[in-house]
Each structure stands twice: as structure tokens, then as C-alpha cells.
Amino acid sequence: METRTATNESAVMTKAQKREDLWRRIKKNKLLYLMILPGILYFFIYKYIPMYGLIISFQDYKPYLGITGSEWVGLEHFQRLFNSPEFWMIFRNTLILFALQILVFFPIPIILSLMLNEVRSQLFKRSVQSIIYIPHFMSWVVIVSISYVILTLDNGLINGMLESFGFQKINFLMNEDWFRPMYILQVIWREAGWGTIIFLAAIAAVDPQLYEAAKMDGANRFRQMWHITLPAIRSVIIILLILKIGDVLELGFEHVYLLLNASNRSVGEIFDTYVYTAGLRQGQFSYSTAVGFFKGFVGLILVVLANRLAKKFGEEGVY
């Protein structure tokens, strides 16, 4: 009995000590916590509180009745989604565009970072960085509009060149075969330069003595890059890849919507545009919320699985 009492007292003291240590760390790093407070508030207000609205995916939501007054229908909207003939088309299109982002786009910022790291002229390096960063600050409306001017059938730059060389014009904008190449090229154009920021920062943290030792062993620049630079930034690459996998069904509404038309809808319609069409244009609020719920759930599952897989191979993961 006395031993059990002593154990309980020890557990209470341990909890009290942990609580004291926690408050001590908070007081010591209070300025750091104040810096991250706006970010915490942002996610709490705009990401967590709105999750209450997911309830309407299980209701026949009527705006004039509100969430509390709408009829409860259970999984009806999810059954409708999975039985819809459009579901597999949208799911296939989303997965294909996501695969293009992972296989084609994701490696490009890494390759650009490695190439820029090998440039010895700081002026040239900074000039190239500035040039490839600029598209990131343009909206998708501007990017797609520029592409339209270049690729349009009438007086387009590319078709004008094809015609001048005696080739037949190509209707890039209305041809479904060109939708996916056009999409991924625009993603590369806009985001590749911005993605190099993180990788260049990771490369800058590599110990220079490692390169000096490799030079003494006779390693050329390619060997140094392969055996020192890439292993040093591997953890950063894996973390960004895990976060990217979480966005498997979140490809961005604006970009795809601007490229969509009646001719390429069969290869371009994704969950984001489908939610907009069903929810805002057709007023099916509960159904579109169910689609969004499905997107978020799949992303969560994939992040957890990818994180566990990364830890299984000895990497840190995201949590």
C-alpha cells in the first residue's frame, strides 16, 4: 500500500515537474512563440474552425434552415459521388496531373538548385535566380493569358512559326491531347524557380570541409554533387515530397479552371473544378462539401502513410 502511494506521489511530482519545465521553456522563448502566434491564429481561424461546416456533407443542407435545421441524410452524398459516372473520370484526371507534378515538376527545382550551386559567378547566379523567380509573382490569369497569346490558333506565336515553316497549325487550346503538356509546362514555368529557394538554402548549410575532403580524394564536381550535396539535402527533399503527396487531390482550382473548355473537359476536369461547378454554380452545397471532405481525407491518409514509409527508411518525416 505504501509502495503504491509512493509511486502515485512520484507520478504526480513528475507531471508537476514536466509542467514547470514547459512553462519555463515558454517564458524563455516567449518572443519566438509570439512570432508564430499570427500563424497559429491564421490556421485556427481559417482552417480548423471552418471544419465545423463539414457536417453539411451528411445533411440535405438548406441555407434558409441552417446547419442545425437541415435534414440528416448520412452517407447519401458520398454514395452518390462514388456511383457517379463522372467520379472515375475526375479521379483519373486528378491522379494523372498529380503524377505529372511528382515525376516531371518536382525534380526540376532540385536540378536547378544543383546547377545554380555550381555557378561560380555570383552576378550571373543572382541574375538567373531573379529571372526564374519572377513568374511566381504572376497570377495564373496572367500565366494562362500569356500562354493563350503564344498558343492561340489565330495569330499565335507558335502557330505563326509553324505556318512560316510550312507546317499545319495546331489548335493547342482546344485539343485534349495538349491539355496535360500545357498544364505541366505552365506549372514548371511559374513554380520551378520559386522551389529552388528551399533547396539552395539547404545546400548552403552543407559543411564546406566535406567538399575540400572530396577534392583531396580526387572527386570531380559531379562526384561531389552526387555523394555530398544530394545526400545532405535528402531529408529536405523527402519532407517536401511528403507534403506534396498530401496535395494529391488538391491541384489548384484557378489554373485548371482557366484552361478548361468544352473540348478538353474529359481530360481536364478535376475535383477542384468539380466542387466549384456542383457547389457554387449548381447550388449543391452538401454534395460539393462531401467531395471536398473526400479530397481532404485521402490527402490525410497519404501523408500519414508517406510519413511512416519515410521513417521506416530512417528519415525524419514531418512529425
SS (H, E, C) 190-254: HHHHHHHHHHHHHHHCCCHHHHHHHHHCCCCHHHHHHHHHHHHCHHHHHHHHHHHHCCCCCCCHH
Final residue of a structural domain among 12, 45, 74? 74
Final residue of a structural domain among 39, 74, 109? 74
What CATH number has the domain bearing residue 307?
A: 1.10.3720.10
Would you say residue 91 lies in a domain?
yes
68 and 122 in a common domain: no
81 and 6 in a common domain: no
pTM to 2 decimals?
0.81
185 and 66 in a common domain: no
Determine what percent of the chain falls in helix, strand and coil, rounding each to the nearest 5. 80, 0, 20
The Cα–Cα gap between 226 and 233 comes to 11
pLDDT for 271: 87
Would you say residue 256 lies in a domain?
yes
156 and 235 in a common domain: yes
Task: Cell numbers for 153, please give them.
Answer: 490558333
Final residue of a structural domain among 27, 48, 74? 74
pLDDT for 6: 46
288 and 165 in a common domain: yes
296 and 200 in a common domain: yes
pLDDT for 104: 92
Would you say residue 49 lies in a domain?
yes
Q: Say how many domains are in the chain.
A: 2
231 and 101 in a common domain: yes
194 and 115 in a common domain: yes
238 and 111 in a common domain: yes
pLDDT for 42: 92
Would you say residue 81 lies in a domain?
yes
Would you say residue 85 lies in a domain?
yes
pLDDT for 181: 93
Would you say residue 317 lies in a domain?
no
Would you say residue 318 lies in a domain?
no
The Cα–Cα gap between 293 and 58 comes to 10
Q: Domain of 40?
A: 1-74
pLDDT for 183: 93
130 and 116 in a common domain: yes
119 and 190 in a common domain: yes
4 and 110 in a common domain: no
Per-residue pLDDT of the chain (319 residues; tens, 9 = 90+): 545 554 555 555 577 787 888 888 888 888 888 898 898 999 899 888 888 888 999 988 888 888 888 889 888 999 998 898 888 899 899 889 989 999 999 999 999 998 888 888 888 888 888 888 889 999 999 999 999 989 888 878 888 888 888 888 888 888 888 999 999 999 999 999 888 988 988 888 888 888 888 888 888 888 888 888 888 888 888 888 888 887 777 777 889 999 998 888 889 898 888 888 888 778 888 988 898 888 888 888 888 887 787 777 666 666 6
